[in-house]
Every structure is written in C-alpha cells, then in structure tokens.
Amino acid sequence: MSKKDKIFTVKVRRDFCKGCGLCIAFCKKEVLGVSAKLNRMGYHPAEPVKPEACIGCLMCTQVCPDLAIEVYSE
C-alpha cells in the first residue's frame, strides 16, 4: 500500500494547544485552522478544518512546541 492510498487523520489535543498558530502557518495543505471556541487554558486552539487534505507529512507535529498534534494513518 503506497502512501497515496493511505488516509491520514489529524487530531489536536485541544487542552494542550496554546493556539500559537505555527502548525497553521507551516501546513502546506491548509488542513488546520483556528477554533472559534476557547480551550481550558483560554486559548483558541488549532483544529482540523480540511481533514481530508492531510498528506501525512508530519510538518505540524515537527513545529508544534507543545506536542499537541497527533497524526494517525489507516
């Protein structure tokens, strides 16, 4: 099974995200966006807005300073 056939799922651990926006800035496919709701710490966390566009490059997990993003493949 090649990488193209895989489906990737991005999950943001809402309460760990501080809403710095680095993942949003570095995601080439614009998968992530800012959530309208606040989290437990009072930040607007990132959330997947175009989850189907994810290609599993893991750039967001590399730049996230708080390890708040999890990428799954199936």
Partner 1 sequence: MELLNKWPIYYKKDVISHYCPGCGHGIVHRIVAELLEEMDLGKQAYLVCPAGCAVLAYNYFDFDVIESAHGRGTAIATGAKRANPKLFVISYQGDGDLSAIGTAETIHSANRGENICVVFINNAVYGMTGGQMAPTSLIGQSTMTSPAGRSPDVDGYPLHITDIVATFPGVTYAERVSVSSPAGIKKTKNAIRNAFQTQVEGLGYSIVEVLSPCPTNWKMTPAKSCKWIDEEMVKEYKPGLLTDKREEKRKERA
User: Where along the sequence are the contacts to partner 1 (CB under 8 A)?
Assistant: 8-9, 15-16, 18-22, 24-26, 41, 43, 56, 58-59, 61-67, 69-74
Question: Residue 44: what residue type?
Answer: H
Q: Residues with Cβ < 8 Å from 31, sequence gap 6 or more? A: 10, 48, 49, 50, 51, 53, 54, 60
CB nearer partner 1, residue 4 or residue 65: 65
Minimum distance of partner 1 from residue 65's CB (angstroms) = 3
Token reading at 36: 């309208």
Q: Of 20 and 53, which CB lies nearer to partner 1 in the complex structure?
A: 20
